[in-house]
Amino acid sequence: MHAESSSAANAEPIQELLVDQLRDILHAEKQLTKALPKMLKAARSAQLQSLLQIHLAETEEQIERLNEALKLLGAPARAKACKGMAGLVEEGEEVMSEGEEKEDAAADLALIAAAQRVEHYEMAAYTTARNLALQLRQPAIVQLLTMSLGEEQNAGQLLDQVAQPLMSVAKMPNAVE
């Protein structure tokens, strides 16, 4: 980061971009509060279900943090259509309908794959927004975004952990073919 280049003259476009990014993430998270309950119902393993349940609660807190961050910037907490997340949610729905005909482990692994794309998309969004907030010297916003970024990273790691035992189960029936 080039903190010294952050003069009053160029702070405005950065602030505008941050507001725009926060509004996009707000809509992304709102879409997830609708998608996660469906994914949770589709999940077969108890670990995956509880992971998604916990992340749903975290997602609701993340929405509160985004509202607060927008308030700190004096911007109305209006959401902006996030097409990226809409596409990822759509892929998740595909995975769930395809999963109906699959074995438990295979269906859950496909669900985890879809969920990981969501988590990594969010990590990219929060990392960028946090960098913009750092540049604007908005420590309260940096703190809010750091908390949410940490939750996304943790969710990604937990998904990887849940996938591990499922992979050894999933390879058994196919190995015979």
Work out whether 152 is an interface residue with Fe ion (CB under 5 A): yes
- Could you give phi then psi for residue 140, rounded to 5 degrees? -65, -40
Q: How far is the CB of 24 from Zn ion (least distance, A)?
A: 4
**Residues that contact Fe ion, how many (by CB under 5 A):** 4
CB of 35 or CB of 82, closer to Zn ion = 82
84, interface contact from Fe ion, Zn ion, none, CB < 5-8 Å by kind: Zn ion
Q: How far is the CB of 144 from Fe ion (least distance, A)?
A: 13
Task: Give which of 55, 57, 68, 73 is closest to 26, Cα–Cα.
Answer: 68
Q: Structure tokens of 95? A: 């995975």
* Cβ 104 vs Cβ 81: under 8 Å: no
* Cβ 22 vs Cβ 144: under 8 Å: no
Q: How far is the CB of 80 from Zn ion (least distance, A)?
A: 8
By CB under 5 A, which span of 41-49, 60-68, 87-95, 168-176 interacts with Fe ion? 60-68
Q: How many residues would you count in the chain?
A: 177
Task: Give which of 66, 76, 70, 75 is closest to 33, Cα–Cα.
Answer: 66
Quick one: which of 24, 29, 58, 108 contacts Zn ion (CB under 5 A)? 24
Work out whether 108 is an interface residue with Fe ion (CB under 5 A): no
Which residue ranges make up the site for Zn ion (CB under 5 A)? 24, 82, 84
